[in-house]
Amino acid sequence: MSQILEATPYEMIGGEAGVSQLVNRFYEIMDTDPVAVGVRGVHQADLAEAREKLRLFLTGWLGGPALYVERYGHPMLRARHLPFRIDERMRDEWLYCMFKAMGEMNLPKALVDHLEQSFWRTADFMRNAD
């Protein structure tokens, strides 16, 4: 009996190169799109560290190597985001950047639908203000 192995989102997005492309475009959008002015405002002027941490995190979150965990330990997403006021507007601005970046990557619709749901649940879980 043969077993069919399905690709992970990490593999489907293009592995390391795909995650890097997504993260780079995400931060380009955040840095330039007026829709994201609020979420951009809570980041440091230099986005290099945030860019690298998100790249490492997404690599593991999407089913690739656990690079973030290896370097920083458990992500503890909510705890790490508690110092920042995250309301619906901040959540929605973050998601706007991520969804726009994904939309520019020509990914399979099923993958985009899956990731949009997963990102929405995670981003909504980060909210700590009304």
Show me where the domains of the chain are located: 14-126
Contact yes or no for 111/19 (Cβ under 8 A): no
Confidence of residue 17 (pLDDT cuts 50, 70, 90): very high
Categorize the per-residue pLDDT at 75 as very low, low, confident or very high, splitting at 50, 70 and 90.
very high
pTM of the predicted protein model: 0.92
Q: Which CATH superfamily is domain 14-126 in?
A: Globins (1.10.490.10)
Alpha-carbon span 22 to 104, nearest angstrom: 9
User: In 103-129, which positions are buried (b, 16+ CB within 10 angstroms) versus exposed (e)?
Assistant: eeeebeeebbeebeeebeeebeebeee
- Model confidence pLDDT, tens digit, residues 57-70: 999 999 999 999 99
pLDDT in tens, 84-113: 999 999 999 999 999 999 999 999 999 999
